[in-house]
Amino acid sequence: MRIRRRWLLVLSLLTSLTLVLAAPLANPASAQQTPAASAPAKPKPAVKPAAKPAAPAAQSPAAKPAVPPAMGGAQPKLLGQYADWGAYTASPGGKKVCFAIAKPSASETVPPGRPRNPSYMFISSRPAEKVTNEISIIIGYPFKPSSEASAAVGSTSFALYTQQDGAWIKNSGDEAHMIDAMRSGQTAVVKGVSMMGTQSSDTFNLKGLSQALDRTGQECK
């Protein structure tokens, strides 16, 4: 099933990324949105992360790149860190993937203060599948079944379909439109509802996104 395949691909990448990128954030075992019985501890990396590479000239000096550990035997390579957005490449299973990833700059819940797992926006290209700049969002809790989420860039809102804790563009024709809007926009605001009724709003700073996508586009032509 296409939805499940997308979700499993993103999850396999972000399971490892979360260990490093989200270390100071919420403990998954304590998040109220996920029942304890269905939230097993995430595995520790099998190998030590590689040393931080030298910063390229285009890199934002204020941004400190995170180095993810190996995943499925493939060590992701940091191509560049551009403000909030990291550009990476990896080859799990021998198939090359390039992706830009960022954490939200601000998050809110209603009711307030509800603990959640970390959330990310993840934009991937998979040349072997002829996929370019596919937008995925990991929200940090299981969505309410059959619910839709939304992503607003400026005054334009895009509908998202959901599965478990993942969300994707509902109308495939809107994906390129959303990428264009984010390249020229300031923020993207993602809203959704958990299976327990908690409403969330995550704001992603889009500074550096264009550079990150340009870099992944060069790597995964």
Q: Could you report the per-residue pLDDT of 162-212, keeping only the tens digit for each? A: 999 999 999 999 999 999 999 999 999 999 999 999 999 999 999 999 999
Count of alpha carbons within 13 angstroms of residue 80, beta-carbon side: 20
Q: What is the rounded CA–CA span in Å between residue 39 and residue 113?
A: 20
Q: Which helix or strand (DSSP H or E) is residue 73 part of? A: none
89: which strand partners? Answer: 77, 98
The predicted model scores a pTM of 0.73
1 has pLDDT over 50: no
Is it true that domain 2-219 has CATH number 3.50.50.60?
Answer: no
What length is written for the chain? 221
CB 77 within 8 A of CB 215: no
